[in-house]
A and B are shown apart, each in its own frame.
Chain A
């Protein structure tokens, strides 16, 4: 509309903007990049304390520095700024406090100040799982094991014109007959021809059988410090979640040991420390005992995993190797994780290195980031079902 009283004209309009998606497209590209960065940082992220110590339900915030738009900016912290008070501001008044400087060790502040725009990506644990687990796979199982984790059922869910006489669908056959007769101008149920016949057919459904049990074993003797326990805890956290994706029901049995083993609660497992030496065979005996009593291999997929710092009574090693053999007869796989920060020589590894069985796997973790590598090593994808 042009306006005649005015030297200038104006127009008011309302367009259909529904196809304008540009903002969303670039937003998606940004999120893709955020995701890529998270993926690159997976080894560090999965051992983040706030994840491992959480109940696993929450959304966590991950600082993504590399997606900042870097440029030449002033150092906000060393700059003077002008602000405005309510009318009674005084020199010396504190108007704000840096949240990050209260946390030592993390000098950078996560604020909303211009130029210091740390992107905090929100990721749900589920998303992290998706990224992590897309790289993992359950180790190859033997053929007979496969029968155990899968059950077949038959579901009648389709109708066809050909089929077995015993599967005839009477109702639909009559309906077809009615329809045909009606179209030929002679309604009623009569002259059922082979064309009218309808058969139920079925589909094979494979339903994964749902039970798995993790036997989490850990050395809680004095030599296992908080770092060692934390690595083990991170590992078990993700392993449990991974197996929960594969099986409907996953149970975990926590066995703590030093010179003798006992079943403990999760809480105790990760927090309690005992002094004294280490005899690993004690925990393997206990595991065997529990499997035999509570988890028959015929109905459970069993995953015994043992974490230790490698310290063991040397004379006990031979017995350990023998017991692992026993355990492996009952289990899908056996994993041994050694947390060995300082690369000490390990009595256990010197014995385990010689175990040549496909189900036996080990990994030595030297730093937090390697928990991720351990997971990938234990549950690596194997091509064409070949066994490593």
Chain B
């Protein structure tokens, strides 16, 4: 064992002791020291072992190039798993590693305790490795080109999953949909026998009073379906078994990454908050203090055209701590808030919130002014600041985090005009889709569905349908 590793181990033990004192609750840790190209590979794939695809190679190349040119640097990478894997860049100084070790402990605490991660598969490292294996077997069996081009198509819609934390009526998607279809046909839903069966009888009595209508249009799906990945994999008539398998595996991976997309600002803010608090407790030399300050400021550095999630999250958490430690007289009287509850409140927030509620609930007027936040948009060739009112800033921030920042689309109709055509509806909320991108996405959707596909959205506030029939694009205003 080298001195370097021994020093690091000593430091980690100390840091963990401090973290435990603060009440951080994390999984067993596996720290791996890796060279830069390995860190960047994991960064691009999001996992140590994942299936092969050129798009990962593209990301890897881009990230690695920025590192090589000194433009950006990943110091660490942490995987939401149990045990928790954290990868440290070979060549980090000891003080850099101390910051990172503290930072990833807080990430791990977040993964373990935040509600959005409650359904996370903590064995995803192994699951993804198994997926990679399966896909590479398919490549051997059906050809690299066939598998690759299929994955191209799946990637085009992979964000469209439903990360439901609570299953309605405790049914999985398939069962729930079957139940809805029966309801639609006026059939009684079969139900488990139980103590309260007599209550169902009341329900039936009511039904008899209003006889069900004779003619009813049966919609499929009975309710708009958000999980386009699931729906297509389940109901497309053109997919083969291996293709359905790949789709379902890629959906699982997306569901695994989803909570991370929903809590980016919080998670980074939480980790930045804790690495600062923990390092403060260490006995640092003056050189180390300066180096720590340098690295810390580069991590939480504000940026002009986009928001640094580390910085924003950190500031909001610090603000929560302050406001609950020292509530104003009004807050004490109106809400009964007692002084000194800062930490307790922070732990509560890290457990129950995601980025949207975090910002909606805890972004204040004071904060937007302190941080000098603004709303900007494009006016002619210029990007201009157009708004500085704090509610609009807050709402805009919340909006940008809804659905992980992706447009919200649902399967509206999978048997359009009784021809089996697929209609997706964009739940328009004031922001148009990128039409060029959409028209290039439709052929992929067509490939997965096998019949004509439509997307309903709005342009210039008018409803419009985009259609791709396998050969040509059409668009028409409704």
Q: Which residues of A contact B (CB under 8 A)?
A: 1, 3, 5-15, 17, 20, 22-31, 33, 67-98, 101-102, 108, 115-116, 119
Distance from B396 Cβ to chain A, minimum over Cβ atoms (Å): 5
Chain B residues near A3 (CB, 8 Å)?
A: 13, 16
- Does B434 lie within 8 Å of A23, measured CB to CB? no
Contact of A71 among B54, B156, B387 (CB under 8 A): B156
Nearest CB in chain A to that of B30: its residue: A11
Cβ contact within 8 Å between B377 and A80? yes
Specify which of A22, A31, A89, A93 is in contact with B45 (CB 8 Å cutoff). A22
What 8 A-B pairs come out closest when comparing CB atoms?
A26-B57, A23-B41, A27-B57, A70-B440, A96-B383, A10-B29, A23-B60, A30-B57
In the bound complex, what is the Cα–Cα distance between A22 and B444 (angstroms)?
Answer: 26
27 contacts between A and B (CB under 8 A): A6-B17, A9-B29, A12-B9, A17-B34, A26-B53, A26-B54, A26-B58, A30-B61, A69-B55, A72-B407, A72-B426, A72-B438, A78-B431, A78-B432, A80-B396, A81-B376, A82-B400, A84-B307, A85-B373, A91-B374, A95-B383, A96-B383, A97-B381, A97-B383, A98-B378, A98-B382, A119-B58
> Is the Cβ of A71 less than 8 Å from the Cβ of B155?
yes
Asked whether, in the complex, the Cβ of B13 is within 8 Å of the Cβ of A81, the reply is: no
- Taking A69-B156, A71-B159 as contacts, is the C-beta distance between A94 and B382 under 8 angstroms? yes
Min C-beta distance of B390 to chain A, whole Å: 11
In the complex where A72-B433, A95-B384, A115-B437 touch, is A11 in contact with B20 (Cβ < 8 A)?
no
A83 touches B307 (CB 8 A): yes
Please pick, from A14, A29, A33, the residue contacting B32 in the complex, using a CB distance under 8 A. A14
A30 near B55 (CB under 8 angstroms)? yes
CB of B31 within 8 A of chain A?
A: yes
Residues of chain A within 8 A of B306, CB atoms compared: 81, 83
Given contacts A1-B9, A73-B407, A97-B383, contact A84 B437 (CB under 8 A): no
A98, B305: Cα distance in complex, Å? 12
- Distance in angstroms from A71 CB to nearest chain B CB is 5
A90 touches B385 (CB 8 A): yes
Residue in chain B with minimal CB distance to A78: B432
| Chain B binding surface SS class | mixed
Residue of B nearest to A13 (CB): B32
Is the CB–CB distance between B384 and A6 below 8 Å?
no
Report B-chain residues with C-beta under 8 Å of the C-beta of A84. 302-304, 307-308, 311, 371-374
Query: Looking across the interface, which residue of chain B has its beta carbon closest to that of A107?
Result: B436
Is B64 in the interface zone, CB < 8 Å from A? yes
How far, in angstroms, from A69 to B198 measured CA to CA in the complex? Answer: 55
Task: Tell me the residues in window 370-406 of chain B with beta carbons closer than 8 Å to chain A beta carbons.
Answer: 371-378, 380-388, 393, 396-397, 400, 406
- B115 contacts the other chain (CB 8 A): no
Contact B13 A6 (CB under 8 A): yes
Are B437 and A91 neighbours in the complex by a CB distance under 8 Å? no
B423 within 8 A of A: no
Closest chain B residue, CB of each to CB of A115: B434
Which chain B residues have a beta carbon within 8 Å of chain A's beta carbons?
A: 5, 8-9, 12-13, 16-17, 20, 26-35, 37-38, 40-41, 44-45, 49, 52-58, 60-61, 64, 90, 152, 155-160, 302-308, 311, 371-378, 380-388, 393, 396-397, 400, 406-407, 409, 426, 431-438, 440-441, 444, 455
Given the known inter-chain contacts A86-B372, A95-B305, please indicate yes or no for A71 contacting B26, CB distance below 8 A.
Answer: no
The answer on a CB contact under 8 Å between A97 and B372 is no
Given contacts A71-B157, A72-B406, A82-B397, contact A11 B41 (CB under 8 A): no
B132 to A: closest C-beta gap in Å: 9
**Chain A residues within an 8 Å CB radius of B159:** 71-72
Considering the chains assembled together, what is the distance between the CA atoms of A374 and B58 in angstroms? 35
Hey, which chain B residues are within 8 Å of A85, CB to CB? 304, 372-374, 385
Query: A95 to B29, Cβ gap below 8 A?
Result: no
Using Cβ atoms and an 8 Å threshold, which residues of chain B touch A71? 155-159, 406, 437, 441
**Contacts A27-B60, A29-B54, A74-B407 given; does A83 touch B373 at CB 8 Å:** yes
* CB nearest neighbor in B for A32: B54
Q: Give the complex CA separation of A80 and B29 in angstroms.
A: 40
Q: Which residue of A lies closest to B40 (CB)?
A: A23
In the complex, the answer to whether B382 meets A97 with C-beta atoms within 8 Å is yes
* Complex: A27 Cα to B436 Cα, angstroms: 26
Of B27, B44, B397, B409, the residue contacting A23 (CB under 8 A) is B44
Residue of A nearest to B409 (CB): A72
Minimum CB distance partner of B27 in chain A: A8
User: In the complex, what residues of B have CB within 8 A of residue A102's CB?
Assistant: 381
**Complex interface: chain B residues within 8 A of A26 (CB):** 52-54, 56-58, 60
Q: Which of A9, A17, A29, A68 contacts B35 (CB 8 A)?
A: A17
How close is B453's CB to chain A, nearest CB, in angstroms? 12
Q: How far is the CA of A115 from the CA of B371 in the complex (A)?
A: 26
Instruction: Contact check, A74 vs B383: say whether CB atoms are below 8 A apart.
Output: no
The CA of A15 and the CA of B27, in the complex, are separated in Å by: 22
The distance from the CB of A377 to the nearest CB of chain B, in whole angstroms, is 31
Q: Is the CB of B432 within 8 A of A74?
A: yes
